[in-house]
Amino acid sequence: MAAARREPQRTCIGCREVAGKRQFVRIVRAAEGGLAIESRGERLAGRGAYLHNSRICWERALEGATIGRALRMSPNSADIEGLRRHLDTIPVSSAEEA
Ligand SMILES: [Zn+2]
């Protein structure tokens, strides 16, 4: 389903699929260090990476150094912990038709 309305395109760092940015959750490298996950409607400053709100994409991104590479940082264990907490909130059956 190609949407008629235009929106900025972003790449999911989990599956590398390109889609409109509203379909993604944005992870931001905060200026004071650490990672933040943007809530809907929020606009955090800092370098960001995009992920579908799907467990597969988050699990892939949490494997290896994907997030660190995308954000050009080395996430510490608290950062990873925060991301895993978000992953736990994603319903298992969030297989949305893209
Ligand atoms: Zn994805």
pLDDT tens per residue across span 32-46:
889 999 988 889 999
Reported for 74-77, long-range contacts at CB under 8 A and 24+ positions apart, including other chains, are 75/35, 76/34
How does residue 98 score in pLDDT terms, banded at 50, 70 and 90? very low
Complete domains list, the chain, with CATH = 9-89 (3.30.1230.10)
Cα–ligand 1 centroid distance for 50 (angstroms): 8
Give the span between the Cα atoms of 20 and 54, in whole angstroms.
15
Cα–ligand 1 centroid distance for 96 (angstroms): 11
Question: How many residues does this entry show for the chain?
Answer: 98
Cα–ligand 1 centroid distance for 30 (angstroms): 22
Give the span between the Cα atoms of 37 and 23, in whole angstroms.
14
The predicted pLDDT at position 3 comes to 56
* Residue closest to 72 by CA, chosen among 19, 35, 37, 39: 35
Cα–ligand 1 centroid distance for 95 (angstroms): 11
Helices 77-89 and 55-62: crossing angle in degrees, nearest 10, is 170
The predicted pLDDT at position 4 comes to 65
